[in-house]
Amino acid sequence: MPYKYGHYFVGIVLLVIMGGFWASYFSRVGGPMPLAFHVHAMTSITWLLLLIVQHVSIHRRANALHKQMGLASFVLFPLLILGFTMIINVSAARYVAAENPFIVHNGPAFGIGMAVAIAAYLTLFYQALRTRRNVKLHAGYMLATPMILFESPFSRLMEQLFPWMNIIGSEGVHAVQDTIVISDAIMIVFAMTLYWMDRKHGAPWLVASFFMALQAVTMWFAPFVPATGSLFSAYAAIPPAVTVIAGTALGAAAAWFGWRAGMPVKRATAPAV
């Protein structure tokens, strides 16, 4: 089976998430905070745990468990997209309320970053289901999904523990965008290394790299484009119920259409003479 040590990579991303969000979420999980944080955290962590179980089970020839986890992903994936959408809604509300200078400057960029992450997840999961009969491509697309989660927690770790890694050096509230760009760049290098190791089955790493590069560029420049603020304010005016339903529906649609696209083509049989 391909990517023998893939579950270790997913485990590392999980540890980065725990470390990056320890101060702002996990150490304060019992206190008051928006429901969106809990939904996003729990669905993201559960997604990574599901990937670990899927990967280990298929390598140990536990095919029945692997299939059960695959079926569970049809339920979990729409909830994962729901969590992303809820985070966008919280950021939009804080931006409109001008909660603080940090969110006024970075709010639209965070919204764009989450939107790109949603697009990446929809694409990767759809492709994973569509190519499920090709083991290397299927595994690659599924293992590429944690790459999209990496930048947010690692950028926080960089800010807290490794400030020397910020070689861009923006000042003030824009410095967080530097750490996001660098975090995406690190994962792009890793993804492209995997691509060059097996270009025949490297499409998942190219797709993931494209979305991470798009996320890095759009987020860094968004605060300097006034139109992004207007668009984010317009988004904030949409009732949250509408956006969360739309996000959940997109997740379900990606699962459904991906599954259908991966079904074997029925060949017409010649009529008996």
Q: Which pLDDT tens digit goes with each residue over 204-221?
A: 999 999 999 999 999 999
Distance, CA of 90 to CA of 108 (rounded, Å) = 12
Mean pLDDT of 104-109: 96
The pLDDT value recorded for residue 272 is 53
pLDDT, averaged across the chain = 93
The pLDDT value recorded for residue 265 is 72
Distance, CA of 89 to CA of 239 (rounded, Å) = 9
Distance, CA of 130 to CA of 255 (rounded, Å) = 9
Task: Provide the whole-model pTM.
Answer: 0.93
Mean pLDDT of 129-146: 95
Distance, CA of 91 to CA of 105 (rounded, Å) = 12
Q: Which residues of 32-54 are buried (b: 16+ CB within 10 A; e: fewer)?
A: eeeebbebbbebbeebbebbbbb
The pLDDT value recorded for residue 269 is 57
Residue 11's pLDDT band (cuts 50, 70, 90): very high
The pLDDT value recorded for residue 1 is 61
Does residue 88 surpass a pLDDT of 90? yes
The pLDDT value recorded for residue 114 is 96
Does residue 273 surpass a pLDDT of 70? no
Does residue 120 surpass a pLDDT of 90? yes
Question: Phi and psi for 271 in degrees, rounded to 5?
Answer: -65, 140
The pLDDT value recorded for residue 2 is 81
Angle at 156 between CA 154 and CA 161, to 5 degrees: 90
- 61-65, 161-165, 174-178, range with the lowest pLDDT: 61-65
Torsion, Cα 142 133 204 179, to 10 degrees, reads 0
The pLDDT value recorded for residue 131 is 95
Distance, CA of 71 to CA of 181 (rounded, Å) = 35
Distance, CA of 176 to CA of 183 (rounded, Å) = 11
The pLDDT value recorded for residue 73 is 94
The pLDDT value recorded for residue 270 is 53
> In Å, what is the CA distance from 264 to each residue of 10, 19, 99, 232?
30, 43, 52, 42
The pLDDT value recorded for residue 30 is 81
Mean pLDDT of 2-16: 92
Mean pLDDT of 101-106: 95
Does residue 90 surpass a pLDDT of 60? yes
Mean pLDDT of 8-33: 92
Mean pLDDT of 187-193: 97
